[in-house]
């Protein structure tokens, strides 16, 4: 047992030792559910096991090819389900691990099921961390799952595998699967409550209610249903609802097939000839699993229908918070601006709100807590709405206040101060106390006409200025911000001329073998030789190129220039090297990419094996398209590298199926790999994963000898970064590296 083992493992093994357990003797479960008890337990867990099985199978599918077992227990530790590798199943039977067996520390010693149920966080027990030696060749990962609304423990989900397949990423994947399980269970629980509520009759409801028996004979027709339809209760009661020309078809489906209808729009004319528009729900009523009738409910939406006929309510409101959404607020602002431009005396201001550090909350406490947190924030923000204010959720953690028809700008500033004070008190999500603040950008509609889009840009820029100043504050849009925007517009115009005037150059950053220091490749990186501003790095103009559609044209220039330069070096007698070029998302998605690559290689004469294209994880998310394109590039002979690995969406299945040669570890991970920082474990895991998939690893951003030594120790294949060289022009690459390579 290592001194670095977690406390819960250390304490568990100490208990086993003090209890007199022999580590070399197989410790089997001592308590088992009878067949009757097991059937009853699994029956009570039917829905839970169904949800867990669905996400467990998704986890198993994503790890196809890895011998792995998924084990599910109830809250006491009784095994209820085992899925996965059949060989492991047969092996663990020898140790008494089977459905219905009870796992406790007292009976079975240190085990993943008991510890997962005890701890409030995911756990791992690897090899010799187990007390008993028969488990030393097994790696286990586990975590408990709960009803998150009441924090009641339901059970645990664990995965186990031969120790040679251990990987810290498995614990992350298991945690994500359990988060999905908890979300689905909570959703189903809430839906059950709604189903029960829909069957409760409230005499004062403002909905029209119809209830029938199992044969469709109407037994209840409430007062509001009479008002809505102009039909008398005594006329409707006792009639077969299936004969109704309005709802008969729906009730027939409910009674004969158990079908459920929700929010069906129904239109009919009452006895006075007035058009009535309703949303209609219908569902069966059950008692002890036997259908005893049908329940129908009408909600009159006639007023809303006529006032907002062209609008769909759901399209204009946010599902999570029920606040107006971006579409609603854009139209609201646009209409006010039109009235102002038409000469109406109106005032308008935007307060663009972004929550500070929300991503940390979401990542730390999970998406369910993050969603609940956003609901709490929206409720608190709504508390300071006044008569002429509108609050909307723009998406993610961004909200906006539209302030209308105020007398002076002091109202706007006071509103911003009031909003900031709302965040001085903590938010409570379950047992967790959460804190955040807000950054607010203010834009007041000026004395001259501007568009809704420009006003939104002003507010957004002011909000980012508030963040730059330290967050938890507001910033008002000023002409200084406008000057910054004007500079950006000028740069965009210059960028278009740069394409025409061939003002771009390539610099090349060496890729080095970490042990020998030998040059093994180069990454081509674009620079802009601006006529007045000098040499500009990509971060100054690539985003502009993406926004205005020039990125594809620039990207093609980079590939052609890099291929041509590499061929020139080879023709000059230098040792052949691979040169890597970055593909933008837009370029990767163009239909002529393959044709362009073939034409470029043919025109430059470069052997395809000396060209490598780098894509990001985000590009690979469109699986079918990405697989097809990458396979075609591979058929040509071009190398493929995944850039910035670890910062986006990674799927082990995708990595396994894509024809990838290199994985590049993002410099953000390399920067913090010293002194047992968590990123060190991520880097180790990525290198091990890549090597297992027969891929080579390039670590970028290496700046210190300590980082280099760590990467050498982890058997990283290649490195690049300022420790060796910054990106250099082609002539300096020749002088410093290629001449030396030839001499060696």
Please report which helix (H) or strand (E) contains residue 112, including its range.
helix 112-118
Whether the CB-CB separation of 686 and 665 falls below 8 Å is answered with yes
Backbone angles phi, psi at 212, to 5 degrees: -125, 165
Q: Are 105 and 12 in contact (CB under 8 A)?
A: yes
* pLDDT tier for residue 520 given thresholds of 50, 70 and 90: very high
Residue with the larger pLDDT of the pair 75 and 208: 75
User: Regarding predicted confidence, which is higher, 548 or 255?
Assistant: 255
Distance CA 447, CA 599 (A): 55
Structure tokens at 704: 């210190």
Would you say residue 482 has pLDDT above 50? no
Helix, strand, coil: what percent of the chain each, to 5? 45, 25, 30
Please name every residue paired with 287 in a beta bridge, in sequence order, or none if there are none.
290
The tokens describing 315, both together, are 């399209």
Q: What is the per-residue pLDDT for 202?
A: 42
Which whole-number Å values give the CA distances from 526 to 431, 536, 615, in the listed order?
51, 9, 16
Contact 67, 104 (CB under 8 A): no
Q: Measuring CA to CA, how many Å separate 259 from each of 241, 251, 256?
A: 16, 9, 8
pLDDT 10s digits, 668-726 = 888 878 766 777 888 888 899 889 889 999 999 999 999 999 999 999 999 999 999 99
**Nearest CA-CA partner of 666 in 721, 704, 612:** 721
> What would the mean pLDDT of 241-258 be, rounded to a whole number?
90
Compute CA distances 284 → 24, 246, 252, 328, 436, whole Å: 60, 18, 11, 36, 46
Taken in order 715, 720, 725, 729, the sign of the CA dihedral is positive
**pLDDT for res 37:** 93
User: What are 354's strand-pairing partners?
Assistant: 398, 439
Contact criterion met (CB below 8 Å) for 440 and 406:
no
- Span 177-182, average pLDDT: 90
Q: Angle, to 10 degrees, between the axis of helix 358-365 and the axis of helix 367-382?
A: 140
- Are the CB atoms for 294 and 251 separated by under 8 Å? yes
Beta-strand relationship, 275-287 and 290-300: antiparallel
Residue labelled with tokens 């060796």: 724
Work out whether strand 578-582 and strand 611-616 pair parallel, antiparallel, or are unpaired.
parallel
Q: 3-class SS at 66?
A: coil
Q: What is the band of 514 on the pLDDT scale with cuts at 50, 70, 90?
A: very high
Give Cβ neighbours of residue 405 (< 8 Å, ≥ 6 apart): 346, 347, 388
Q: At 279, phi and psi to the nearest 5?
A: -100, 130
171-177 contacts, C-beta under 8 A, 24 or more apart: 171/122, 171/124, 171/141, 173/59, 173/62, 173/63, 173/652, 174/59, 174/122, 174/141, 174/142, 174/143, 175/122, 175/143, 177/55, 177/56, 177/58, 177/59
As given in the structure block, the two tokens for residue 534 are 């000098």
Whole-number Cα distances in Å, 560 to 286, 292, 535, 541, 606: 70, 74, 21, 20, 10
The answer to whether 142 and 116 are in contact (CB under 8 A) is yes
Residue 651: pLDDT over 60: no
Rounded CA gap, 136 and 125, in Å?
10
Asked if 251 contacts 241 with a C-beta cutoff of 8 angstroms, the reply is: yes
- How does pLDDT run across 571-582, given as a tens digit for each residue? 999 999 999 999
Element housing 261 (H / E)? strand 261-269
User: In degrees rounded to 5, what are phi and psi of residue 43?
Assistant: -65, -45
Poorest-pLDDT segment among 157-161, 298-302, 341-345, 672-676:
672-676
Asked if 190 and 184 count as a contact pair (C-beta separation under 8 A), the reply is no
* Mean per-residue pLDDT over the chain, rounded: 86
More confident residue, 484 or 519: 519
The pLDDT score that the predictor gives to residue 314 is 64
- Per-residue pLDDT, 208: 84
The pLDDT value given to residue 561: 95
- The pairing of beta strand 79-84 with beta strand 123-126: unpaired
221 bridge partner residues: 210
- What's the confidence (pLDDT) of residue 204? 54
Contacts of 590 (CB under 8 A, 6+ apart): 552, 596
Taking only the tens place, the pLDDT of each residue in 74-130 is: 999 999 999 888 888 888 887 778 899 999 999 999 999 999 999 988 999 999 999
Segment holding 656, helix H or strand E: helix 652-657
Expressed in angstroms, the distance from the first to the final Cα of the chain is: 48
CA–CA distance, 462 with 201 (Å, rounded to integer): 52
In which band, very low, low, confident or very high, does the pLDDT at 621 lie, cut at 50, 70 and 90?
A: low
Out of 27-41, 127-141, 479-493, 673-687, which region has the weakest mean confidence (pLDDT)? 479-493
* Other CB atoms within 10 Å distance of the CB of residue 212: 25
Quickly list DSSP for 590-637: -TTHHHHHHHHHHHH---GGGEEEEEETTGGGSHHHHHHHHHHHHHHT
Q: Which residues pair with 664 in a beta bridge?
A: 698
Whole-structure pTM value: 0.42
Residue of higher predicted confidence among 433 and 525: 525
pLDDT at position 548, please?
73
């Amino acid at each position: 047992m290592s001194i670095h083992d977690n406390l819960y493992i250390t304490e568990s093994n100490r208990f086993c030792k003090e209890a007199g357990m022999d580590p070399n003797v197989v410790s089997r479960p001592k308590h088992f559910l009878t067949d009757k008890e097991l059937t009853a337990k699994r029956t009570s867990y039917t829905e839970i096991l169904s949800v867990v099985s669905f996400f467990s199978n998704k986890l198993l599918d994503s790890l196809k090819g890895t011998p792995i077992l998924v084990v599910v227990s109830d809250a006491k530790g009784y095994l209820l389900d085992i899925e996965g590798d059949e060989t492991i199943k047969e092996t663990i039977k020898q140790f008494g691990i089977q459905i219905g067996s009870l796992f406790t520390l007292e009976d079975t010693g240190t085990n993943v099921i008991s510890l997962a149920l005890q701890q409030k966080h995911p756990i791992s027990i690897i090899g010799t961390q187990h007390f008993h030696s028969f488990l030393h060749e097994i790696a286990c990962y586990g975590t408990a799952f709960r009803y998150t609304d009441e924090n009641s423990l339901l059970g645990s989900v664990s995965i186990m595998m031969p120790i040679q397949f251990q990987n810290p990423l498995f614990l992350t994947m298991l945690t994500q699967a359990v988060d999905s399980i908890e979300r689905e269970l909570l959703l189903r629980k809430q839906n059950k409550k709604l189903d029960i509520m829909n069957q409760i009759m409230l005499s004062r409801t403002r909905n029209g209610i119809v209830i029938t028996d199992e044969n469709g004979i109407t037994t209840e027709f409430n007062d509001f249903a009479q008002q809505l339809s102009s039909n008398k209760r005594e006329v409707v009661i006792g009639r077969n609802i299936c004969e109704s020309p309005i709802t008969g078809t729906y009730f027939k489906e409910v009674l004969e097939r158990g079908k459920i209808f929700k929010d069906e729009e129904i239109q009919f004319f009452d006895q006075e000839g007035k058009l009535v528009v309703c949303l209609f729900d219908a569902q069966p009523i059950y008692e002890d699993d036997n259908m005893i009738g049908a329940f129908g409910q009408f909600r009159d939406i006639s007023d809303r229908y006529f006032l907002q006929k062209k609008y769909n309510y759901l399209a204009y409101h946010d599902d999570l918070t029920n606040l107006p959404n971006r579409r609603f607020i854009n139209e609201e602002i646009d209409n006010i601006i039109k009235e102002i431009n038409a000469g109406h005396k109106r005032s308008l201001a935007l307060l663009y709100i972004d929550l500070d550090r929300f991503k940390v909350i979401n990542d730390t406490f999970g998406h369910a807590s993050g969603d609940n947190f956003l609901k709490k924030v929206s409720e608190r923000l709504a508390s300071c709405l006044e008569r002429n204010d509108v609050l909307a959720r723009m998406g993610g953690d961004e909200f906006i206040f539209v302030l209308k028809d105020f007398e002076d700008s002091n109202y706007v500033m006071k509103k911003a101060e009031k909003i900031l004070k709302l965040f001085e008190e903590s938010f409570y999500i379950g047992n967790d106390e959460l804190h955040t603040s807000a950054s607010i950008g203010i834009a007041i509609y000026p004395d001259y006409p501007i568009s809704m889009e420009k006003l939104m840009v002003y507010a957004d820029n002011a909000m980012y200025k508030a963040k730059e100043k330290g967050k938890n504050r507001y910033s008002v849009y000023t002409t200084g911000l406008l000057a910054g925007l004007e500079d950006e517009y000028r740069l965009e115009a210059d960028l278009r001329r740069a394409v025409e005037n061939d003002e771009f150059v390539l610099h090349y950053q060496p890729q080095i073998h970490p042990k020998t220091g030998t040059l093994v490749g180069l990454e081509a990186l674009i620079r802009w030789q601006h006529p007045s501003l000098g040499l500009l790095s990509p971060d100054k103009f690539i985003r502009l190129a993406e926004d205005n559609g020039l990125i594809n044209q620039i990207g093609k220039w980079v590939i052609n220039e890099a291929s041509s330069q590499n061929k020139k070096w080879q023709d000059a007698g230098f040792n052949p090297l691979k040169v890597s070029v970055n593909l933008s998302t837009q370029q990767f998605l163009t239909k002529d990419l393959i044709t362009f690559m073939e034409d470029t290689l043919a025109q430059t004469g470069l052997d395809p094996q000396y060209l490598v294209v780098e894509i990001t994880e985000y590009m690979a998310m469109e699986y079918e398209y990405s697989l097809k394109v990458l396979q075609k590039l591979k058929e040509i002979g071009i190398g493929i590298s995944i850039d910035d690995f670890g910062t986006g969406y990674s799927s082990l299945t995708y990595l396994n199926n894509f024809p990838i040669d290199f994985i590049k570890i993002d410099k953000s991970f390399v920067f913090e790999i010293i002194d047992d920082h968590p990123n060190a474990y991520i880097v180790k895991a990525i290198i091990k994963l890549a090597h297992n998939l027969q891929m080579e690893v390039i670590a970028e951003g290496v700046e210190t000898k300590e980082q280099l030594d760590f990467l050498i120790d982890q058997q990283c294949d290649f490195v690049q970064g300022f420790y060796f060289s910054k990106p250099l022009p082609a002539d300096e690459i020749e002088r410093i590296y290629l001449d030396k390579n030839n001499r060696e």
